[in-house]
Amino acid sequence: MKGALRLLLSAGLLLVGASGASAADLKLMTTGAFRPVVQDVVPVFEKQTGNKVAVVSDTAGALIRRLRAGEAFDVIVLTSDGLDALADIGTVTGDSITPLASVGIGAAVARNAPQPDLRTVDAFRETLLKAHRIAYMDPSVGSTSGNALAQIFKKIGVSSEVERKAVLVKSGPAGEAVARGEADIALQQASELRLVPTIRFAGLLPAAIQVYTTYSGAIAAATHEKDAANALLDALSDPALEPVLKRRGLEAP
C-alpha cells in the first residue's frame, strides 16, 4: 500500500464499516481540482466499508450541465457557490453541504525549464509576455480556473497577448500540454498541475492576484443510499486528511 493510503489507515480514517449491512454502490461526481484527494480516499473507503464508488470527474460547469440533464449521483464535490445553487433547486440537501478544501492557481513548466518569476504581479506579467505558448483551461467549458484566469489576464492587461498564444484545454490537467511539448507554461489550480509527474510545479500566482476556490461536498436529495453517502462525505471531510490535502496541493477549508 502506498504512502497516502497507509497514512489514511494509520490515521484511523474511514471507521464506518460494512458490519453486517449490505454493500452499497455509490456514484461520486467531483471537479478535477479535488480529484487527487478522491483518488487517495476512495480505495480506502471501499476497502473498509465494502461499498463501491464510481467516480466521475469533470469541470464545475460540465458537472452542473450534467445534473441539469438529469444525471443521477449520490455525492458531489463542487464549488461552494455551485452547491448553494443546487440546494436552492433541491438537487442536493442543503444541510449536507460540507466544506472540504481550498486551492489556489499555480504555474508549471517542463522539468528542465528555467524557473518562471512568480514573485510579483509585474514579474508574472512579464513571464506571460515572454512565454511562447500558455496552456490553461478553456473558460467556455465552465472551468473554475479558466474563468478565474481570464479575469486575472484582464486585470493585469495581457488578455489579448495571452489569447494569441493560448493552448486551451477542454478537460484534464493543463500541465499535460507542457508534458507533450505543446506549451512552455501551464496555469491551473495547483492540485491539478501536481497530477502530471513529468513536469515541475513552479509555485502559486502572486497573492495580489491569486484566486482561491473552496470546494464542498453534498449529498443528492434523491439518493437511495443515504447512510453510505453520508459515510463517504464524512470520509472526504475528515480533519485528519490535512496532510493529504497539503501533499496534493490543497489546503484545509
Name the phi and psi angles at 219, rounded to 5. Answer: -105, 140
Instruction: Give me the architecture of the 105-204 domain, per CATH.
Output: 3-Layer(aba) Sandwich (3.40)
- Look up residue 119 and give its DSSP letter: S
**Rounded Cα–Cα distance for residues 85 and 64 (Å):** 10
> Quick one: pLDDT at residue 22?
75
Number of H helices, E strands in the chain: 11, 10
Q: How many residues does the chain have?
A: 253
248 vs 9, which has greater pLDDT? 248
> What cell numbers appear for 53 in the block?
464508488
Residue 202 to residue 117: CA distance in whole angstroms = 9
Domains 3-102+214-247 and 105-204 share a fold: yes
Say how far apart CA 210 and CA 201 lie, in whole Å: 16
pLDDT digits (tens, 9 = 90+) for 80-93: 888 999 999 999 99
- The pLDDT score that the predictor gives to residue 141 is 87
Domain 3-102+214-247: CATH architecture, name and number where available? 3-Layer(aba) Sandwich (3.40)
Q: Is 73 exposed, middle or buried (0-12, 13-18, 19+ CB in 10 A)?
A: buried
The contacts of residue 70 (CB under 8 Å, 6+ apart) are none
Report pLDDT digits (tens) over 52-91.
Answer: 999 999 988 889 989 988 999 999 999 988 899 999 999 9
The yes-or-no verdict on residue 9 having pLDDT over 70 is no
- DSSP code string of 170-232: SSS-THHHHHTTS-SEEEEEHHHHTT-TTEEEEEEPPTTT---EEEEEEEBTT-S-HHHHHHH
Q: What is the pLDDT of residues 156-204, one digit of tens each?
A: 999 999 999 999 999 889 999 999 999 999 999 999 999 999 999 999 9
Q: H-type helices in the chain, by residue range?
A: 3-10, 35-49, 60-68, 80-88, 121-130, 144-155, 159-164, 175-179, 190-193, 226-236, 242-247
C-alpha atoms less than 13 angstroms from C-alpha of 61 in its C-beta half-sphere? 13
For residues 109-121, average pLDDT: 96
Residues 112-124 have a mean pLDDT of 96
C-alpha to C-alpha distance for 250 and 191, rounded to whole angstroms? 6
**CA dist., res. 87 & res. 44, Å (int):** 29
Q: Where are the domains of the chain?
A: 3-102+214-247, 105-204
| Whole-number Å distance between alpha carbons of 46 and 137 | 32
Assess contact for 53 and 46: CB atoms under 8 A.
yes
